[in-house]
Amino acid sequence: MTFRDPTSLWLLAAIPFAALFLVARERSRERLARRFIAEPLRGVSNPARWLRPWLLVLGLAAAIVALAGPEVGFATQTIEAREANRVILLDVSNSMEAEDVGASRLTAAKAVAKRIIAAHPGRVGLIIFEADAEVVSPLTNDADAVAELVDSIAAGEVGEPGSDIGKGLIAALKLIDADPTQKADVVVISDGEDQGHRLPDALAKLKARGVAVSTILIGTETGATIPAGEGKWLVDNDGQVVRTSAQPETLQSIARESGGTFFVNPFAEHALDSLASSASGSSREKKVRVPIDRYQWPLAFAFLALLLGSVANRGAE
């Protein structure tokens, strides 16, 4: 026998005190009855009256056991599970602070990432990247926790300025290889700027592994300046204000070569429907053993004990 909530059984420690109280109360009643009430009115015709405190104690103990949720035996159930892993790769370089999509690119990218997380039927992981990559969440079924982590991300968080998509893809592949038996894909959310040299090697490894990479471009080719705080703008080494433009060519090439899908500013309600359906994964039947709840047994016993306690009280003063 196991219990769904074994901590509730600690309440059984109060049973001896309840027994002492009820027995003492019954004896006090008897003394008072003999002292002040005529014998024909004392309920002497009910010889089971002395059992009442013990029946109440047994009923209370059984109710506590029922509260703990006893489980006896197992039932086998067949469930259908769709299993797929998805790694979201989010660009947090300084260029993602540009505000050419009605808000900063990063704010829009985070909103898109949360939509993808909510719609994904399997496990999801999260990586952020600049010139280096950092795993924020390994593959997990806890979509709410990953969405909360997305909310906490800020531009420049990795701490190495630049943008190396290839480095991020290699980090994503390491997460995927931790669970090699499942179908997996990668979703890159970026403005397309890539200043690294690892992209060809990363794509070759992903293609060999059969991992599709879908890409989402956030930003416009017109571009915008990059806020630097206090009403200032990011400048280059020559003191010129930097203007960043979205570069779709890089992301288009990644999606095309890996068999993924390319999206541009998918802010419409159903713009990412095809991405959600592509990650349905393989359907697999699983047989699981589910404990059988038996709280009805002690609950029925508690009800019976309280009922008998009430019967035992009949005829008493």
pLDDT in tens, the chain (317 residues): 788 888 888 988 988 998 898 888 878 877 776 776 665 555 555 667 778 888 888 989 999 998 888 888 888 876 555 568 999 999 999 999 999 998 999 999 999 999 999 988 889 999 999 999 999 999 998 999 999 999 999 998 888 888 999 999 999 999 999 888 788 999 999 999 999 899 999 999 999 989 999 999 999 999 998 888 777 888 877 778 888 999 999 999 999 999 999 999 999 888 888 887 665 554 556 677 788 888 888 899 988 988 888 777 765 44
Domains of the chain: 2-75+292-313 (no CATH), 85-280 (3.40.50.410)
CA dist 115 and 93 (Å) reads: 21
DSSP state of 94: G
Give the torsion sign (CA, 13, 17, 18, 23). Answer: positive
Give the pLDDT score at 279.
56
DSSP, collapsed to helix, strand or coil, labels residue 45 as: coil
Of 287, 103, 90, 120, which is closest to residue 191 (Cα–Cα)?
90
If one counts every other C-beta atom within 10 angstroms of the C-beta of residue 214, the result is 25
Q: Rounded to the nearest 5 degrees, what angle is found at the Cα of 245, between the Cα atoms of 242 and 250?
A: 130
Would you state the pLDDT for residue 317?
A: 43
Give the separation between CA 281 and CA 39, rounded to whole angstroms: 81
Amino acid 80: pLDDT: 52
Predicted confidence at residue 105, as pLDDT, reads 95
Residue 42's pLDDT is: 52
User: In Å, how far are 7, 78, 169, 181, 220 from 271, measured between CA atoms?
Assistant: 48, 35, 24, 30, 17
Residue 260: CB atoms within 10 A of its CB come to: 22
Per-residue pLDDT at 101 = 93
- Cβ contact 215:90 at 8 Å: no
**Is-contact 221 100, C-beta < 8 A?**
no
**pTM > 0.75:** no
Amino acid identity of residue 25, one-letter, is R
Whole-number pLDDT of residue 121: 83
